[in-house]
């Protein structure tokens, strides 16, 4: 049966518009997080995975902290915090979801016998395997960016070149982010090239969102606040829900 997410999208986006940069959105999301571990432990024992499943991938982790802000803020921590809020919204609205990581860890040890490409490559292969094994309807990878020019800013969504589903999902996400969080952002969803390993090799529909630049003073300050991260999570969840609804 097709699950209608239309109401979900509306509710979430109204929440973003009303509560962005305030404590209300954060309280709303965090209020449903207490039972997450219990529900996930039970859900992960079930097989096969339900249809319409969202795999949420917090980038980096463990010894790989990703980009680092001038004050030492690690991308991996920002990525995980946003991903946790998306996962909480999935629980609240009944959207099946799986997290590739739930702690500050590398997934490289999933392939201890495979030395090809080193730990970074093994970590990325593990993320792809999680999405494939879960039969994901969409893989959403959460990242933050860094650039030598501190003036560069703006959330940007990339999509896998392997199929039209990824492009459609990225277009929805970029449009919603621009309209609801960064009205001045003129970035458009972009097809990933071979340098983005995860998207280039994804077999499921997959997008990667660079949620801001840690090298930009304003975006770094915003991403360090739970309220803004919750707002980013709300919009990404709404975009994923709209895409899943469009696929039936």
Q: 150 — phi, psi (to 5°)?
A: -65, -15
Q: Which CATH superfamily includes the segment(s) 6-247?
A: Zn-dependent exopeptidases (3.40.630.40)
Give the range among 3-12, 56-65, 90-99, 176-185 with minimum mean pLDDT: 3-12
* Helix (H/G/I), strand (E/B), else coil: 183: coil
CA distances in angstroms from 50 to 47, 82, 97, 134, 234, listed in the order given: 8, 23, 9, 8, 22
C-alpha span between 12 and 7 (Å, rounded): 9
Tens-digit pLDDT profile for residues 196-238: 999 999 999 999 999 999 999 999 999 999 989 999 999 999 9
- State how far the Cα of 81 lies from the Cα of 102, in Å rounded to an integer: 10
DSSP code string of 31-53: TT-TTHHHHHHHHTT-SSPPSSP
Q: pLDDT tens digits, residue range 102-142? A: 999 999 987 666 666 788 989 999 999 999 999 999 999 99
Band of residue 52 on the pLDDT scale cut at 50, 70, 90: confident
Q: What is the pTM assigned to this prediction?
A: 0.83
pLDDT above 80 (res 9): no
């Amino acid at each position: 049966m097709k699950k209608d997410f239309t109401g979900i999208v509306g509710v979430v986006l109204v929440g973003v518009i009303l509560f962005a940069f305030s404590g209300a959105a954060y309280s709303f999301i965090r209020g449903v997080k207490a039972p997450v571990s219990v529900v996930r432990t039970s859900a992960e024992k079930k097989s096969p995975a339900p249809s319409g499943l969202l795999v949420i991938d917090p980038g980096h982790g463990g010894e790989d902290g990703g980009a680092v802000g001038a004050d030492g803020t690690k991308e991996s921590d920002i990525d995980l915090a946003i991903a946790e809020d998306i996962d909480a919204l999935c629980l609240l609205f009944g959207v099946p979801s799986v997290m590739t990581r739930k702690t500050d860890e590398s997934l490289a040890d999933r392939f201890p016998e495979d030395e090809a490409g080193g730990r970074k490559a093994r970590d990325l292969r593990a993320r792809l395997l999680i999405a494939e094994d879960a039969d994901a309807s969409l893989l959403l990878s959460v990242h933050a960016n860094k650039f030598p020019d501190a003036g560069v800013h703006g959330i940007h969504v990339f999509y896998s070149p392997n199929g039209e589903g990824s492009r459609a999902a990225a277009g929805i996400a970029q449009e919603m982010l621009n309209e609801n969080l960064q009205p001045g952002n003129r970035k458009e969803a972009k097809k990933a090239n071979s340098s983005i390993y995860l998207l280039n090799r994804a077999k499921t529909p997959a997008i990667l969102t660079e949620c801001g630049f840690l090298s930009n003073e304003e975006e770094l300050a915003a991403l360090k606040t739970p309220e803004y991260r919750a707002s980013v999570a709300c919009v990404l969840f709404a975009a994923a829900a709209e895409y899943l609804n469009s696929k039936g």
